[in-house]
């Protein structure tokens, strides 16, 4: 009798993707605000082998002087740090902090598309799907508008930091024009429907 091939199983869709927890000081309460969008960012730093790239960002986000943080960071090898629990507010996208879950990809907004690693953005897509399931957020391109001088998410989904800038707030352009956003969203749609490999 032929040996049975052990197939990789899919995680339940309520189990977070793999991560290393390194909680930072720079965070506070969402004050009851629901998560309306998943926001994508680039760290504007070099992606280097191992965990040093993420450790460097952790040190910055854990420094009160930086006045900044994000929920998770993912490098080119798909290593992942959890810096701020999803239930809390990270300090990364101005007035949208209370209503967003923020993913930092190690990389630069100016880098070409070939510099973005598939393993990196697909790991981020798993997290987008996980947060989407937990908060009933569709895996689609979201929208941000300036309404009476305040940024408002007018379509729930996945947004970039640049969309906040385009609405008239701040000057960030991340994650950059060559970030594979369409592929990221398609992967998130798949993972939200099918789960992710354990």
Handedness of CA 186, 187, 188, 193 (dihedral sign): positive
Specify the number of domains making up the chain: 1
Q: How far is CA 48 from the centre of its chain?
A: 19
Order of all β-strands in the sheet with 100-105: 20-21, 80-82, 72-74, 100-105, 37-42, 157-160
How many CB atoms sit inside 10 A of residue 113's CB? 11
Domain presence at residue 7: no
Two tokens, residue 63: 């420094």
Of 30, 136, 130, 139, nearest in space to 84 by CA: 30
Domain presence at residue 35: yes
Domain presence at residue 165: yes
User: How does DSSP assign 176-191, residue by residue?
Assistant: -TTS-HHHHHHHHHHH
How many CB atoms sit inside 10 A of residue 7's CB? 7
Domain that holds residue 52: 20-194
How many CB atoms sit inside 10 A of residue 29's CB? 10
Based on its alpha-carbon atoms, the radius of gyration of the chain, rounded to whole angstroms, reads 17
Query: What is the model's pTM?
Result: 0.94
Domain presence at residue 69: yes
Say if residues 34 and 85 touch (Cβ distance below 8 Å). no
Quote the DSSP letter at residue 10: B
Domain presence at residue 11: no
Largest pairwise CA distance in the chain: 71
Domain presence at residue 3: no
CATH number at residue 151: 3.40.80.10
In the chain, pLDDT over 90 holds for what percent of residues? Answer: 91
pLDDT at 155: 98
The pLDDT tens digits along the chain (198 residues) read: 444 444 555 666 889 999 999 999 999 999 999 999 999 999 999 999 999 999 999 999 999 999 999 999 999 999 999 999 999 999 999 999 999 999 999 999 999 999 999 999 999 999 999 999 999 999 999 999 999 999 999 999 999 999 999 999 999 999 999 999 999 999 999 999 999 975
pLDDT at 13: 80
């Amino acid at each position: 009798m032929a040996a049975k091939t052990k197939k990789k199983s899919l995680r339940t869709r309520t189990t977070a993707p793999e991560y290393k927890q390194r909680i930072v000081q720079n965070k506070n309460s969402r004050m009851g605000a629901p998560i309306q969008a998943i926001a994508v960012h680039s760290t504007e730093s070099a992606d280097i082998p191992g965990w040093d790239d993420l450790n460097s960002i952790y040190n910055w986000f854990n420094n009160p002087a930086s006045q900044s943080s994000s929920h998770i960071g993912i490098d080119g090898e798909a290593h992942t740090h959890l810096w701020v629990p999803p239930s809390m507010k990270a300090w990364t996208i101005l007035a949208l902090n209370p209503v967003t879950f923020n993913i930092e990809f190690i990389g630069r907004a100016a880098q070409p598309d070939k510099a973005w690693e598939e393993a990196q953005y697909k790991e981020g897509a798993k997290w987008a799907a996980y947060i989407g399931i937990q908060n009933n957020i569709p895996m689609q391109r979201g929208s941000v508008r300036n309404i009476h001088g305040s940024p408002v998410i007018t379509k729930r989904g996945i947004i970039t930091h640049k969309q906040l800038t385009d609405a008239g707030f701040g000057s960030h352009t991340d994650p950059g024009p060559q970030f594979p956003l369409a592929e990221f969203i398609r992967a998130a749609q798949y993972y939200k429907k099918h789960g992710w490999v354990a």
